[in-house]
């Protein structure tokens, strides 16, 4: 059976009350969802909390999954809403505040800046819609169709956002690599 077919079968069994299927889904998909959150937040605890909140929401709305539809876009749409809710609750400024000690550190030597960036730092300057598409395509490993479903947009729109994001990332990395 195709891996996506296995996920769909597990989800249908979960909807029918088979909690062994729910456990199997959690074990198979939690690492992917956790990575989805981890690139957004510096704190592992925040990613852990959002993962737990996502599974609670999935449990509450599992009846809305339509058998035969791919599980990943449905699941990532839920995770995406959890993330948006989190941003609304906490506000973006609190996540970006730095203490005086952190800002007084010495800058990295020229030329090492691009290599030292975390994924979060690299993607941070992108608009949220572009960052989200890159995360789903490259970090979560979703297909264009799955990303389009999860973001409620067309495949063309996903391609355009990805193209623009890649252009910005190449430009940014080029500038960093040229600093010597």
According to the model, what pLDDT value does residue 41 have? 66
**What domains, with CATH codes, occur in the chain?**
1-91 (1.10.1740.10), 110-180 (1.10.10.10)
Mean pLDDT of the region 168-180: 75
Distance (Å, rounded) from C-alpha 12 to C-alpha 137? 25
DSSP 103-149: HTSPPPPTT-HHHH--HHHHHTTS-HHHHHHHIIIIIS---HHHHHH
Q: How confident is the model at residue 26 (pLDDT cuts 50, 70, 90)?
A: very high
Q: Name the more confident of 74 and 95.
A: 74
- pTM of the predicted structure, to 2 decimals: 0.59
């Amino acid at each position: 059976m195709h891996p996506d077919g296995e996920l769909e079968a597990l989800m249908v069994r979960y909807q029918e009350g088979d909690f062994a299927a729910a456990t199997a889904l959690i074990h198979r998909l939690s690492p992917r969802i956790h990575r989805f959150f981890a690139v957004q937040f510096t704190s592992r605890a925040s990613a852990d909390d959002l993962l737990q909140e996502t599974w609670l929401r999935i449990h509450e709305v599992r009846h809305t999954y339509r058998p035969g539809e791919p599980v990943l876009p449905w699941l990532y749409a839920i995770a995406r809403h959890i993330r948006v809710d989190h941003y609304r609750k906490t506000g973006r400024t609190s996540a970006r505040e730095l203490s005086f000690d952190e800002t007084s550190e010495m800058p990295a030597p020229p030329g090492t800046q691009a290599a030292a960036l975390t994924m979060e730092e690299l993607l941070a300057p992108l608009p949220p819609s572009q960052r989200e598409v890159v995360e789903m395509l490259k970090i979560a490993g979703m297909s264009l169709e799955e990303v389009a479903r999860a973001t409620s947009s067309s495949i063309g729109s996903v391609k355009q956002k990805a193209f623009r994001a890649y252009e910005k990332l190449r430009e940014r990395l080029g500038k960093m690599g040229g600093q010597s």
